[in-house]
Structure 1
């Protein structure tokens, strides 16, 4: 339509209207409330019922929690304070059990003067994780990542510094064997990377450790594993199993898809046997039966046995999660890697595994969260985890009869750890989606 014709038609506007703000009901909190809480008659009913339930919980639980007593040395004293201040019929929480026994719930029987060691170990571990979890962290921090497991072990248990050093040398031996044998045969490189460290640890690690300790004795106070307890024990077992099970699970997933009959069959048997037996049975196996397979006179620490068994259990589940991610990839991804002339390990590292792991993130994190919560099962084999220590505290005459306060604290601590893992999972998924675009 021409400008001349537009000016002769009455219903054609010659100028643009100024922009106006949207109605109040279409923006901000009012819009969100209308769309998410009151969008239909059913949603209105559910919203009102939910509000009533939340209100009922708050008016009954809120005064009990917020009006709690924090300054008392026994449950009897706590009740006396309640009777004097609020009356004998009042219902209030006795949080004084936390102020009195917090150190046992967190550190178990670990020597109080050495609390700095597990705290420092946790800080070093978290710093070592940062370049793995966040790509913006400088790659130079990877040196801390490589050293963190051995430094944390030394800080937690103490003893000679040369023990973790001699163990770390085993991984260097495996790397050298892999580099040396891979040009001969990729399979020989894999076997060498596994067999060489094991032979080193069985034959040479002990004499090297003893020789270095005799020549240059550097040590800190040794702490036995039976002193570990509370959340410290759960964190040590849970984080160790999480860090170790992921690479082992990746290898098992690749082995299960291997064309080599022996490797594929071994991986299938391992995964199915481990997954087919409850974790509590494997924990009893670690406690009672594992020593029968060790040389006579060998004293293998129970906590380390539990870490190994929980790691193997978690690795079997991680392997199946990652296998699902590998199966979800189109066949063209594998063919594309072959067309580029990449060998098996190059195609896995550069093309296949990054995509499979991206698909598997929710399942992997879900497995890790379940694993961390399952660490409370160690109470059945005599290790004093947070639940075990709550039983010990309630068995004492000072706090006999207290329940909810301890369990609320334990649940809150587990929630913080598990919620943090879940939030990081969501962050990583969104980040990878943005990068994919």
Structure 2
């Protein structure tokens, strides 16, 4: 006997074997006998490698002490990183003035957070503030000399603070320069194209460590007598020009990937070269090369450790100096692990945000 009802029956849940972790594991880890054996072997290998690391880093670790001899358990001596934490973050920045670094970092974090949040209103004004006004505020806070703030010479900047200054300034300054170089390399004007090609190939043909050495040691020899540049400023100029050359090639690859029809469409609409480039071509090209751009930024962030060659004490260099202290001899491993974690956090964060941008801008690219 059939039962007819006008009410819709509630939807049944999907079968348990098709969703959830159990289904994922069955499909990806235990789909075949061979996959099952490989999965078990890999789990055993990971446990074999991970257990000693956990034992050293957490179970047998020492967290308190004022010198290396206080670490007697045989595990990691994290007391070293805790005692030297301020030095790792601020370098030799005066302790009484470290609040200025914190305020600059807080403004930066809030500004970037607002720009990354999808529903933030007036993003254009926030972006202009971060690009035009914030650098002035950060310079006043970090260096001082204004509003009764004591001057802190750049030679005292160090640690993570210096690493962030070098990487952020290098990223912000090199991207627009790299875009201009990429456009110049594709220009129909022979002189502009030749100059851009020469610049790009010259800077890409030498290692960054040579650029930093030249900027710090050789550049003053070509300047008029009595003229001097701040060592940090010289490093920033060298890093910016070096990274701009690499970014130019990344952007050029995106420009070449744009179908010719897009250029013709801009001309058909009566747009000028700069209007067509800024409104039609560049937005598409930059979207295509987001992975390459972020990869260059990550490389720049890690390459800032090379400034130790010119006597600037970035995060990695300050860790080495702290580990050379006689009372902390033997703590190099803990210091390098701390530095590696910091580098990984920033690089991983940039990588994940680039993937988020790719998903948000994934509107397709059809010829």
Instruction: Find the counterpart in structure 1 of residue 83 from structure 2.
Output: 100
Instruction: Find the counterpart in structure 2 of residue 155 from structure 1.
Output: 141
Q: 1:40 to 1:124 in 2, by over 3 A?
A: same
What aligned pairs does 1:232-311 form with structure 2 within 5 A after superposition?
232-311=161-240
Instruction: Find the counterpart in structure 2 of residue 10 from structure 1.
Output: none
For the Cα contact (< 8 Å) 2:179–2:248, is it kept in 1? yes
Alignment partner of 1:141 is 2:133: no
Distance 1:265 1:30 in 2: 60
Instruction: Find the counterpart in structure 2 of residue 172 from structure 1.
Output: none
For the Cα contact (< 8 Å) 1:127–1:144, is it kept in 2? no
Instruction: Find the counterpart in structure 1 of residue 16 from structure 2.
Output: 24
Instruction: Find the counterpart in structure 2 of residue 227 from structure 1.
Output: 156
What aligned pairs does 1:99-248 form with structure 2 within 5 A after superposition?
99-130=82-113, 133-134=116-117, 136-139=119-122, 140-145=125-130, 146-160=132-146, 218-248=147-177
Shift in Å at residue 21 of structure 1?
A: 4.7
Alignment partner of 1:412 is 2:341: yes
What aligned pairs does 1:11-50 form with structure 2 within 5 A after superposition?
21-50=13-42
Shift in Å at residue 436 of structure 1?
A: 8.2
Distance 1:341 1:22 in 2: 55
Shift in Å at residue 295 of structure 1?
A: 2.4
Distance 1:132 1:426 in 2: 16
Instruction: Find the counterpart in structure 1 of residue 352 from structure 2.
Output: 423
Distance 1:284 1:273 in 2: 16
Instruction: Find the counterpart in structure 2 of residue 60 from structure 1.
Output: 52
Alignment partner of 1:402 is 2:331: yes
Structure 1 residue runs of 4 or more that deviate by more than 4 Å after TM superposition: 13-16, 18-22, 130-135, 434-437
Q: Deviations over 1:234-275 (max 9, x none)?
A: 111011101111111111111111111111111100000000
Shift in Å at residue 141 of structure 1?
A: 2.3
More RCO (CA 8 Å, sep 6+) = 2
Shift in Å at residue 143 of structure 1?
A: 4.8
Alignment partner for residue 346 of structure 1, among 259, 270, 275? 275
Query: Structure 2: 5+ residue runs without aligned partners?
Result: none
Q: Please give the TM-score of this superposition, normalised by the length of structure 1.
A: 0.78
Count of aligned pairs: 359
**Which secondary structure state, in structure 1, belongs to the residue aligned with residue 328 of structure 2?**
coil
Rg comparison, structure with higher value = 1
Shift in Å at residue 150 of structure 1?
A: 1.2
Q: 1:425 to 1:323 in 2, by over 3 A?
A: same
Alignment partner for residue 255 of structure 2, among 326, 349, 353? 326
Distance 1:109 1:414 in 2: 20
Shift in Å at residue 46 of structure 1?
A: 2.7
Query: Structure 1: 5+ residue runs without aligned partners?
Result: 1-12, 83-90, 161-217
Instruction: Find the counterpart in structure 2 of residue 77 from structure 1.
Output: 70
Alignment partner of 1:336 is 2:268: no
For the Cα contact (< 8 Å) 1:379–1:388, is it kept in 2? yes
For the Cα contact (< 8 Å) 1:130–1:137, is it kept in 2? no
Shift in Å at residue 105 of structure 1?
A: 0.9
Aligned alpha-carbon RMSD (Å) = 2.3
For the Cα contact (< 8 Å) 2:68–2:77, is it kept in 1? yes
Q: Please give the TM-score of this superposition, normalised by the length of structure 2.
A: 0.92
For the Cα contact (< 8 Å) 1:270–1:316, is it kept in 2? yes
